[in-house]
Amino acid sequence: MKSITFSMQVILGVASASLYPGQSNLNHTCALQTPYLSCSPQANPNTTDSCCTETYGGLVLATQFWNTYTGLESSGQVLPKDSWTLHGLWPDYCDGSYTQYCDLSRQYDPVPSPNTTTGTPSGKPVPAWKGPDISTFLAPFGKLDLLAYMNKYWINQGAPNPDFWAHEFSKHATCFSTFDLPCYGPSAVPNAEIVDFFETAIAYYRILPTWGWLGAAGIYPSNSTTYSLGKLQGALKDGFGATPYIGCSGPRWNETALGKGSADNGRTVLSEVWYYMHVFGRVQGRQGVPVEAGANGGSVSSCVKVEGGVRYLERSVGSEV
């Protein structure tokens, strides 16, 4: 009887969608495995358990937003005072490239973006989720405090918060080897890995206090002052230990009156920070090692480089509490 159950479990493990097809759902407590650093030679799925060391997307990005409004203030969706908001936790490949929507059996994003796995017409279509929103998945776990936290700090713009959480889970979390279904064992509670992902993304967010690190350098939102990219980078490197990617939106510098004629076409409104890390063992273990955003030779910012070119805007009245 026991051995029949055993083989059924193995078959179930094989049948579930997986980044590493054929992986058994047994023995992934990670009690016996040495946790390796992601993107090191030992983080190889052929030789180590990919549930216990991140082997698929080993360059982990903890990302945050600075928005000045949500667009849904009238329904109570507001921004947290004196705090940036959580964007997500992303698994890039070690070379800085990435993939998305890795397991369409866990597609809960009502507005997939892009709408194919590659973002081109040749990719696999990502079907829009029509079921109940992802926040309803948390109720059976009784984690209403988690939900309350998410509604305070994980804020969408222009659409309800749960749509954003679903987007982050289905587009990104399904591409971590350590959030793959076989990792959760033969009697996993449905959606346990979703809750685990939300809690993990929050754990990284909480130790990356962008507001406080900028504030420690005297950098606060102001509609009358401007800042230099170098000063922002210095403040965040002092806090984090490596320079994160800093993203700007808004008009390009040389499209503004002040920047007319300049060759600098960086954008002018501070809006995002992406902290790069390698992680020891499971990303859930929360042991990140800071990595320079420029480590792979890519862009470290989309912002204007001219001194005093960046605006860190105050939020709209009524958009934060």
Ligand X SMILES: *[C@@H]1O[C@H](CO)[C@@H](O)[C@H](O)[C@H]1NC(C)=O
Tell me which residue of 59, 92, 97, 90 sits closest to 291, measured CA to CA.
59
Q: Which is nearer to ligand X, 95 or 238 (CB)?
A: 95
**Residue 87 is a catalytic residue:** yes
Q: Is 223 in the site for ligand X (CB under 6 A)?
A: yes
Beta bridge partners of 273: 64, 246
The reply on whether position 40 binds ligand X by CB under 6 A is no
Q: Are strands 59-65 and 288-291 parallel, antiparallel or unpaired?
A: unpaired
Query: Considering only CA atoms, which of 144, 143, 202 is closest in space to residue 169?
Result: 202
Q: Pick from 27, 226, 228, 287: which binds ligand X (CB under 6 A)?
A: 27
Query: Which of 28, 54, 167, 172 is flagged as catalytic?
Result: 172
For CA atoms 31, 37, 42, 47, the dihedral sign is: positive
Cα angle 177, 120, 117 (rounded to 5 degrees) comes to 20
Pick the closer one to ligand X by CB: 113 or 136.
113
Is 292 annotated in the active site?
A: no
| Residue 235 neighbours by CB distance under 10 Å | 19
Distance, in Å, from the CA atom of 177 to the CA atom of 54, rounded to the nearest integer, reads 6
24 sits near ligand X (criterion: CB under 6 A): yes
CB of 91 to ligand X, least distance (A): 16
Smallest distance, ligand X to C-beta of residue 255, A: 6
Peptide bond into 251 cis (omega under 30): no
Site string for ligand X, 145-174 (x = CB under 6 A): ------------------------------
- Indicate whether 317 belongs to the interface with ligand X (CB under 6 A): yes
254 binds ligand X (CB under 6 A): yes
Closest approach of Cβ 254 to ligand X, in Å? 4
Dihedral, CA atoms, 24, 61, 285, 184, nearest 10 degrees? Answer: -30
> Does the footprint of ligand X cover residue 29 (CB under 6 A)?
no
- Near ligand X by CB under 6 A, which window of 272-280, 287-295, 300-308, 310-318? 310-318
Question: Which residues are tagged catalytic?
Answer: 87, 168, 172
Note the residues at the interface with ligand X (CB under 6 A).
24, 26-27, 44, 46, 68, 115-116, 125, 223, 254-255, 263, 265, 313-314, 316-317
